[in-house]
Structure 1
């Protein structure tokens, strides 16, 4: 599988919406190194998005 396909599989796994047959097919083809890299990038993007959202809410005065 290409790195793009791995990113897609990891993204779906973040949401937890994978069918059993698709999951099994992906597990047979995925490169473990690509999965780790895509997972770390996905987690970092998720955390950065949450930090940006919190900063925006605090700056807007909604949290006061």
Structure 2
């Protein structure tokens, strides 16, 4: 019988953060596959990508406004 997926939001955030770097041990990946809720992983991944893009846009605006880029 399938075991219920019991990973917390913090564990999901950590797994998504590691996936952004592309560094993950095989044993940790297998544990994530067993425990993480796929819908939560997708939601956290989309939110993390949006935050990343917003931070990059703010950084670019700050550099351009400071005059360093010219």
Gaps of 5+ in 2: 1-6
Residue in 2 that maps onto 1:45: 51
Q: When the two structures are superposed, what TM-score results if normalisation uses the length of structure 1?
A: 0.95
1:5 to 11, 36, 39: 11
Larger Rg, first or second structure (1 or 2): 2
Number of residue pairs the alignment of both structures matches: 64
Give the number of the structure whose residues are more often helix, by fraction: 1
Q: When the two structures are superposed, what TM-score results if normalisation uses the length of structure 2?
A: 0.87
In 2, Cα distance between equivalents of 1:46 and 1:56? 15
Task: Find out whether 1:26 has 2:46 as its counterpart.
Answer: no
Structure 1 runs (4+) deviating above 3 angstroms are none
- TM-superposed CA distance for 1:56, in Å, is 0.5
